[in-house]
Structure 1
Amino acid sequence: MAAIALVGSATIWIPDEKLDRLLLPLVGFAAGSLFGGAMFHMVPAGLGAGVDVRATVTWLAAGFTLFFALEQLLHRHHCLRAAAPCRQPMTYLILLGDGLHNFMGGLAVGGAFLIDVRTGLMTWLIAVAHEIPQELGDFAVLVHGGWKRSTALLYNFASALTFPAGGIIAWTASLHADVAFLLPFAAGNFLYIAASDLIPEANRTHDPRRGLSSLAAFVAGLALLYGLASIGG
């Protein structure tokens, strides 16, 4: 997963306007994938692993609330528009937010693999769908904030190394406690990212055609995860 941070290097040769056109459908697809993955895979998997309904919705709400609190504390937003200035110019906060976000992602994916390999793979694929547009956007923000491209790439990669650290901690915790609660907890994380960051970003455009392409990408991500859930039975 950490290697995905290197996709930002692709923006070196892409003009800002073209990058924005590329990012918008990716953002829509990521939002649909996160929403579909949370509702069609992670919540049912948590219930199947023995987490009762009340505990499931409680952990889901806790995961949603924690990410809301983190963004409020860090003033961190997914600035996914390369041509527009980021509202939060403190690039170090972007890196810190990425590190914490990737750590939580590692916990979620690691916990999912411990419950079931198929669920783990689905959770990882959902995370990848979100990480690609995020890393592209974050790299662009760092460069626009005055960082050299090579330096931005290096630090962006370093912040992604917290992902495997989260996975290791999830595995260690599983030796001493039941980690099934991580599935609805991570579902809450994913729902927050989709609802608070990605969907509003996709709605920023005033071009009807771009808006429709974003909506189509969202539906495609949702349908893909629903289809995978149906196939898996």
Structure 2
Amino acid sequence: MRITGGWRRDTESGCPEEELAGNQQHRRLARRKAEVHGWGLDSGFSTASLAAKKESHIDNLIWIVIGGFLMSAIALVGSVTVVLKPATLDRLLLPFVSLAAGTLIGGALFHMIPEGSAALDPLVTGVWLAAGFVTFLGLELFLHWHHSHSSEPTGRKPVTYLILIGDAVHNFLGGLGIASTFLINPAAGVTAWVAAAAHEVPQELGDFGILVRGGFPRRSALLWNFLSALTFPLGALVAYFAAQQFEVSGLVLFGAGNFIYIAASDLVPEIKANKSFRAAATHFGFFSVGIALTLCLAMWNA
């Protein structure tokens, strides 16, 4: 090591110490990108390293495709309305909505935000979160799209098409966010998937009811609801291939903003509508269970 012109230089690299310090952040980002893509940082370009990278890519792709189509299959849950009485369905739905609200908020706060923000500046983190929140607000304002968790929603046929469009966009964005989370941290990605699935069950039941009341035959309503859900694996595949070229941490935060909006704007107001003490206690309990489950998973995976 020698001193030259007030700069300390490494004898091998010839780089000023300040440049070396400035490159630390770049190396951290490179390490995170390597983890996402399955690269080996210390293995160079050996045959074993390339084989491991290819195997990791294939494994990730398989899990993303399976998870995507399983999420789409939830759209078929509307068929249970054929065998359940509306009053029974309503009693079951609101506690499930409460659980979904808790898991969505917990999944965003304890899993997606910590993973997505690890490689980003705080301001950039906030921008991505805000973008996810505002995007879903725009969907509601401009598409007049909403979730309904009642077994007897009302609606006219034009509304049914808006429901299908809104759900298709919603599912595509959900696939982007959840697959991106999985690529960075598989455990966090699975938790985000479970949280989204808990939300999808009551949503799809309500959407199925809207389609039927809007003039769709039951079989057609199931088919179109399922087709609109296929945009979830499409979004997941877009995230997978985008991760080969770009840092996907922002998409994770975007998805977290989606989760927070759905829970805070759509689900929580609905579970607050019932004024009886018993219903309030039940809904608060299920909501707390959702929060606690996601927190325990985060602590276990830490």
- Band the TM-score falls in, shorter-chain normalisation: over 0.9
Cα distance in 2 for partners of 1:53, 1:99 equals 31
Residue 205 (structure 1) aligned with residue 277 (structure 2)? no
Q: Which residue of 2 is the match for residue 169 of structure 1?
A: 238
Matched, 1:17 2:87: yes
Q: Looking at both structures, which has the greater relative contact order when contacts are Cα pairs under 8 Å and sequence separation is at least 6?
A: 1
Letter in 1 for 2:79: S
Tell me which residue corresponds to 2:152. 83
- Of 92, 106, 109, 1:39 maps to 109
CA distance, structure 1, for counterparts of residue 198 and residue 153 of structure 2: 23
Q: Does 1:29 align with 2:99?
A: yes
The superposition leaves residues 135-174 of structure 1 with CA deviations (integer Å, 9 ceiling, x where unpaired) of 1111122222222111111110010000010011111211
Preserved CA contact (<8 Å) 1:12 1:149: no
Residue 101 of structure 2 contacts residue 290 of structure 2 at CA under 8 Å; is this kept in 1?
Answer: yes
Report the RMSD for the aligned CA atoms in angstroms: 1.6
TM-score, length basis structure 2: 0.74
Unpaired segments of 5 or more residues in structure 1?
Answer: none
Q: Deviation string for 1:185-217 (max 9, x for gaps)?
A: 111000000011111111222333222211111
CA distance in 2, matches of 1:76, 1:42: 25
Match of 1:70 in 2: 139
- Equivalent residue pairs, number: 232
- C-alpha displacement of 1:87: 9.5
Among all aligned residue pairs of Structure 1 and Structure 2, give the percentage whose two residues are the same amino acid.
50
Letter aligned with residue 127 of structure 1: A
Contact preservation (8 Å) 1:16, 1:82: yes
Which amino acid counterpart does residue 115 of structure 1 have in structure 2? I
5 Å matches for 1:181-196? 181-196=250-265
Name the counterpart of 2:57. none
The two structures have a TM-score, normalised by structure 1, of 0.95
Go from structure 1 to structure 2 and tell me whether the alpha carbon gap of 1:158 and 1:54 turns closer, same or farther (over 3 Å shift). Answer: same
**Of residues 174, 178, 191 in structure 2, which corresponds to 1:109?**
178
Q: What runs of 5+ residues in structure 2 fail to find an aligned partner?
A: 1-70
Name the residue aligned to 1:150: 219
